Amino acid sequence: MSKVILVQPNMNWPHPYCDAPSTALLMLGTLAKRKGHNVKILHLDVDDVSFEQELKTFEPDIVGITVNTFQVKSARKIAKLAGKAKAKVIVGGPHAVVWDGEADQVVIGEGENKWLEILGESSVGINDIPFPDYTLVNLDKFCGIGPLVGASPSFCMMASRGCPFNCIYCNTPAFWGKNVRYRDPQNVVDEMEYLHKTWGAREIFIQDDTFNLNHKWAFQIFEDIIRRGLNKEIIFRIAGRVNEKLLTPEFLDLAVKAGVWNIFLGLESGSQLMLDKMKKGITVGEITKAIELIREKKLSASCSFIVGLPGETWATLMKTGLMTQRLRMSPFINNEPIRYGWGYACPFPATEFEKTVKEKGHIREMDYGDYTYGPLMCR
């Protein structure tokens, strides 16, 4: 049996934090532990340990690193140290599509079966993956998905993988692919019940890119939640799209009955010109109707906006500003406002946005290790 360290590197942010353990590392760690391997999981932004010390004392045979672009600087260091210690270095996560650091193997996309192959174990189906073993992490180190609103303890999970849309700023298609894979609805609700009964979950954030994409599947999950009475024990957050055919009154009615209280919406702009340029596939009219419908159903929403994509002007920014002003002035429901946040456009690897700014010479001369939520990376 192997000794394994799974690592989430430090984020390249001024004030890093970690709201919840990595669902990917928990999945891989649980699979390895179930097969008899000795596993440690490190989240370097919250754990009171250094990777160098763990490397010396634990002497792992395998070091697995999940890395997004804001973690590249830390991940390169970890991979180099692990390689010097003669550990086998496995790299996965969103940035794996362009990983240029040390690695014995790079895994792109769904990693559980490649991971089991590395461990010398048999493959599993998407519905056969064991539920996460939270004894592998110290939950007290994490602030939770809603430290100021929502309920505690809170957990994250995924019920589907992949996204069929083409937003120019997103590398999900490069990582997951454009085909969406769904877990069986009963298996999804079984995990919710496990999180509640075993770990005391009172809030769950379903991290799928678009939970309202497949109504038949989502309705089966909602109905099973209600049938088991979990809607009386747990509240839920989901992410969705505002397309009129996807965010329907029927969907929201059943979501509310099942305990959904908050929906994350990637609105990104108040300008139709910008929505079209980023290939968002939604209209300003759909955004307006969606917010009205969400308020009518007494739900909360968390909305994101992106500033600085190709074609952005003061005029388009003003339209986005006016939209956020309308969100801010919308009535509170159950003491909850419509929440929103802005972010600078970041040319993530393997995105159409990155390709465009590179071709036009609009990207600053920056190494991926310099990426952070802060300075504008395009000019």
| pLDDT value for 368 | 83
Q: Is residue 322 part of a domain?
A: yes
Give per-residue pLDDT as tens, 16-44. 667 789 999 999 999 999 999 999 999 99
Q: Is residue 364 part of a domain?
A: no
Q: 181 and 112 in one domain? A: no
Q: Is residue 240 part of a domain?
A: yes
pLDDT > 80? residue 239 = yes
Give per-residue pLDDT as tens, 207-225. 999 999 999 999 999 999 9
Give per-residue pLDDT as tens, 298-324. 999 999 999 999 999 999 999 999 999
Q: 338 and 195 in one domain? A: yes
Q: Is residue 157 part of a domain?
A: yes
Q: 174 and 270 in one domain? A: yes
Residues 6+ apart with CB under 8 A from 135: none
Q: Is residue 174 part of a domain?
A: yes
Which strands sit side by side in the sheet containing 339-344, from one edge to the other?
Answer: 154-157, 203-206, 235-240, 260-268, 300-307, 339-344
- What is the band of 378 on the pLDDT scale with cuts at 50, 70, 90? low
* Domain-ending residue, one of 118, 135, 161: 118
- CB half-sphere exposure, 123, CA atoms < 13 A: 6
Residue scoring higher pLDDT (195 or 151): 195
Residues 71 and 95: their CA atoms lie apart, in Å, by 9
Tokens of 226: 């209600």
CATH number at residue 71: 3.40.50.280
Q: 301 and 153 in one domain? A: yes
Q: Taking the model in full, what pTM does it have? A: 0.92
pLDDT > 70? residue 120 = yes
Instruction: Give the domain range for residue 64.
Output: 3-118
The 10 Å Cβ neighbour count of residue 11 is 19
Task: Provide the domain count of the chain.
Answer: 2
| pLDDT value for 334 | 66
Q: Is residue 109 part of a domain?
A: yes
Q: Is residue 128 part of a domain?
A: no
Q: Residue written as tokens 């928990």?
A: 26
CATH number at residue 223: 3.20.20.70
Question: Where is 240: in which H helix or E strand?
Answer: strand 235-240
Find residue 240's DSSP bridge partners. 265
Residue scoring higher pLDDT (175 or 79): 79
pLDDT > 70? residue 149 = no
Q: Is residue 28 part of a domain?
A: yes
Q: 181 and 61 in one domain? A: no
Q: 218 and 333 in one domain? A: yes
The mean per-residue pLDDT over the stretch 325-352 comes to 84
| pLDDT value for 139 | 87
Residues 132 and 135: their CA atoms lie apart, in Å, by 9
Q: 216 and 89 in one domain? A: no
